[in-house]
Amino acid sequence: MTKQALVQNIREKQSFLCVGLDTDLTKIPHHLLAYQDPVFEFNKAVIDATKDLCVAYKPNLAFYESLGPKGWKSLEKTLEYIPENIFTIADAKRGDIGNTSKMYAKTFFEYMNFDAVTVAPYMGKDSITPFLEFDDKWVIVLGLTSNEGSADFQYLKDQDGRTLYDKVITKAQEWGNPNNLMYVVGATHPETFAEIRALAKDFFFLVPGVGAQGGDMNAVFKHGKNDDIGLLVNSSRDIIYAGNGLDFQEEIRRKAQQVQKSMNDLMA
């Protein structure tokens, strides 16, 4: 998907919501376990309930890989079911180099046909550039993540006082551009958004941490938006596990509508 198409979808839906498909068999409504493929049945219900309210879906691959071949099949069926005009993100956090990285890129962009994949930049340029060789595909670089352990390394400063996340976000712009590169910036660090937006003015941010992790969407929007909005705010557990009874789909939609309305109000 092109940047223009993504921005257009955000404007038309008045939403920058990304729904995380972190589907856990132990958390989905119990009655779905009677289906041959309960993971897909759950994802299908989530997509039907939210596809007019969100602009992206982000399956976390660990939840599918943990189920072996059946999990991969569920993921394939889920991708086929997602409407073509909705941005798809493989939350894979790959981070290898050379031919290995090229094979990861082929997996997600040719075989699976995702629009984007999350990539860890610890090994440098070699771990990023193979993903940038595909037209209208995106690499989403881990910049400043939302987890508590992000403080272990990402805030470390060099002798000039620059943080590691600053150097990562700045350096990666030598390899990609705003049409094929995004950054993960966690909502649990609202104090950094103005600084990071200044570092990457025209780039999109994938923003986890709103909802269950306590991130403030108002602060994210105020300090993180740009002329294209430039944000994909992810919500996983808060939306997909909003209900667990026979009416779970209605509860999912009700929660997604609340999130989309708050986004619409911010964009107005």
182 burial via Cβ count (<10 Å: 0-12, 13-18, 19+): buried
For residue 239, the domain's CATH number is 3.20.20.70
pLDDT of residue 230: 97
pLDDT of residue 211: 66
Q: Which residues are catalytic?
A: 93
> Residue 213: pLDDT above 90?
no
Per residue in 32-82, pLDDT (tens digit) is 999 999 999 999 999 999 999 999 999 999 999 999 999 999 999 999 999
Q: What is the mean pLDDT of residues 9-35?
A: 97
Tokens of 123: 């090994």
Whole-angstrom CA distances from 192 to 52, 105, 143, 154, 225 are: 31, 30, 11, 12, 13
- In this prediction, what percent of the chain has a pLDDT beyond 70? 99
Report the number of distinct structural domains present in the chain: 1
- Sequence length of the chain is 268
> Residue 212: pLDDT above 70?
no
- Say if residues 80 and 106 touch (Cβ distance below 8 Å): no
Q: Of 35, 41, 36, which is closest to residue 21 (Cα–Cα)?
A: 41
Per residue in 214-233, pLDDT (tens digit) is 678 898 999 999 999 999 99
Q: What is the mean pLDDT of residues 172-193?
A: 92
| Cross-strand bridge partners of residue 19 | 57, 235
Residue type, 102: K
Q: What is the mean pLDDT of residues 169-189?
A: 94
Backbone dihedral region for residue 48 (phi beyond 0: left; psi -120 to 50: alpha; all else: beta) = alpha
* Containing structural domain, residue 152: 3-267
| 202: number of Cβ within 10 Å | 14
pTM to 2 decimals? 0.95
The mean predicted confidence, pLDDT, of the chain is 94
pLDDT of residue 149: 86
Per residue in 85-133, pLDDT (tens digit) is 999 999 999 999 889 999 999 999 999 999 999 999 999 999 999 999 9
Q: Of 62, 119, 109, 7, which is closest to residue 236 (Cα–Cα)?
A: 62
DSSP structural state of residue 109 = I
